[in-house]
Amino acid sequence: MSTDISTATRATVSQVSAVTDSAHAELPTELPVLLAFDLDDTLAPSKTRLPDEMAQVFAQLLPRTQLAVISGGQIGQFRSQVIEALETAGATHLENLHLMPTCGTQYFRFVDGAWERRYVESLSDDEKARALRAVEDSARELGLWSEETWGNVLEDRESQITFSALGQEAPVDAKYGWDPTGEKKEALRARVAELIPDLEVRAGGSTSVDITRRGRDKAYGVNRLLEATGLELSDMLFYGDQLQPGGNDHAVAAMGARTVEVTGWPDTLARLQALLAN
């Protein structure tokens, strides 16, 4: 299956201007040492490239501060969504960018002109096999398994197993319409967690459930990032669209980090543009 996602990746003037006032109201007084972000629906529509406007804002921020992106996606998605967009925007100072795929169980830095993986916490073959079996059996049992999808439903991301109900390449509108209340994902997450209690099972993006070793969530990734940079939690400001309890960004809020909850990528864009103008 295929889809045209071009309309989803462009912010209209009205979308951005509608959130500008609230963006100004919550700005820090100065540019934080580290700005950290969720990816899907915070910096771009789900599984799509950073909009040009967002890439340009990142290009303006990188010479001035450190940026981090942490998401359940694998590094291939980071390349297509973030790295390629920044290359097109002519971004420099990429050494100030920290990429943390699979909820921080992998960490990449730009060194000597190339992206270098600094660590990976790989699942064992046994853990992968049990996770794959548990999530497929549970999805079929709950009537959430589809034979007609856009791409792979199950994905081995080395340090994470991901189930995507409609497939990795599903169009944005289909993803948003699949489980608007989150009830399907929660039912699946709960069932899988019963079957593999030694692993961590989390609701991920719009249609996904992620499985890692226990305790490996975005808060874990943030702690590893702080260890790598020598920064304090108070140095960071985190932007996410799912900070509420049960949301895939909640762990960062629960650890006491300074956070900004956004309504979508146009909201993030307006806030960052206002921060640059401050």
40 is catalytic: yes
Record the tokens describing residue 53, joined without a space. 């406007």
Catalytic member of 21, 40, 126, 249: 40
pLDDT tens column, 14-31: 333 333 333 333 556 689
Considering its fold, how many domains does the chain have in total? Answer: 2
pLDDT tens column, 157-167: 999 999 999 99
Judge whether 38 is annotated as a binding position: yes
Question: Domain check: are 203 and 229 in the same one?
Answer: no
Structural domain contains residue 6: no
Judge whether 157 is annotated as a binding position: yes
Mean pLDDT of the region 132-148: 97
Query: Of 213, 243, 267, which residue constitutes the final position of a domain?
Result: 213
Per-residue confidence at 264, pLDDT binned at 50, 70, 90? very high
Record the tokens describing residue 110, joined without a space. 């730009």
Question: Domain check: are 16 and 117 in the same one?
Answer: yes
7-11: Cβ within 8 A, 24+ apart: 8/45, 8/48, 8/172, 8/173, 9/44, 9/45, 9/48, 9/49, 9/51, 10/51, 11/51, 11/53, 11/265, 11/266, 11/269
Domain span holding position 152: 125-213
Question: Domain check: are 159 and 222 in the same one?
Answer: no
125 is catalytic: no
Question: Domain check: are 23 and 107 in the same one?
Answer: yes
Judge whether 208 is annotated as a binding position: yes
Judge whether 210 is annotated as a binding position: yes
Query: Of 172, 187, 213, which residue constitutes the final position of a domain?
Result: 213
Question: Domain check: are 220 and 117 in the same one?
Answer: yes
CA distances from 110 to 43, 44, 59, 94, 254 (A): 20, 22, 15, 6, 30
Question: Domain check: are 80 and 196 in the same one?
Answer: no
Question: Domain check: are 23 and 130 in the same one?
Answer: no
Sort strands 161-164 and 199-203 into parallel, antiparallel or unpaired.
unpaired
Among 3-7, 29-33, 135-139, 223-227, name the one with the lowest average pLDDT: 3-7
Question: Domain check: are 150 and 166 in the same one?
Answer: yes
Question: Domain check: are 204 and 237 in the same one?
Answer: no
Question: Domain check: are 66 and 170 in the same one?
Answer: no
What CATH code is carried by the domain that includes residue 32?
A: 3.40.50.1000
Catalytic member of 4, 38, 137, 235: 38
Structural domain contains residue 38: yes
Mean pLDDT value across the chain: 89
Query: Of 192, 213, 234, which residue constitutes the final position of a domain?
Result: 213
Question: Domain check: are 186 and 221 in the same one?
Answer: no
Structural domain contains residue 231: yes
Question: Domain check: are 57 and 174 in the same one?
Answer: no
Claim: this prediction has a pTM higher than 0.85: no
